[in-house]
Amino acid sequence: MAKKLYVGSLSYGTTEETLRNAFSQVGTVESATVIIDKMSGRSKGFGFVEMSTEEEAQAAIEMWNGKELDGRKLVVNEARPMEARPPRREGGGGFNRNRSGGFGGGERRNTW
């Protein structure tokens, strides 16, 4: 059964192909993913590698954890399941929901 690994402290220049090639030295890589920031299109500095067996995953951790790839020391460990997060609040982020103007009531205009 395939085992997913977390790979942290990646160089921003590390690609999925680089990650796949590095981890394939240990065994069969089912998948290699570098997580990309949606806004900037740049790597977030971490990714995931799925090895085909538990033994290969353990060997990959032993080989790559603390070792350098593309100029950065990697952090490699078993990936944990994604934790459930509370749902995001509705709305546009701080705008006045009742659409009142915010410039006072307006009753006293031109009362001189």
Look at residue 109 and tell me whether its pLDDT is greater than 70.
no
80-101: pLDDT as tens digits: 988 888 887 765 555 555 555 5
Report which of residues 111 and 73 the model is more confident about: 73
pLDDT at 27: 97
pLDDT at 61: 98
9-61: pLDDT as tens digits: 999 999 999 999 999 999 999 999 999 999 999 999 999 999 999 999 999 99
- Name which of 81, 85, 83 is nearest 6 in CA terms: 81
Q: Which domains does the chain have, with CATH numbers?
A: 3-78 (3.30.70.330)
- Name which of 72, 65, 73 is nearest 49 in CA terms: 65
Cα distance between residue 82 and residue 63, in whole Å: 25
Other Cβ atoms less than 10 A from the Cβ of 58: the count is 16
pLDDT at 84: 86
pLDDT at 97: 54
DSSP-derived 3-state class of residue 78? strand
Report which of residues 96 and 7 the model is more confident about: 7
Look at residue 2 and tell me whether its pLDDT is greater than 70.
yes
> Which token pair is 100?
């009142």
Look at residue 72 and tell me whether its pLDDT is greater than 90.
yes
- DSSP output for 7-47: EES--TT--HHHHHHHHTTTS-EEEEEEEE-TTT-SEEEEE
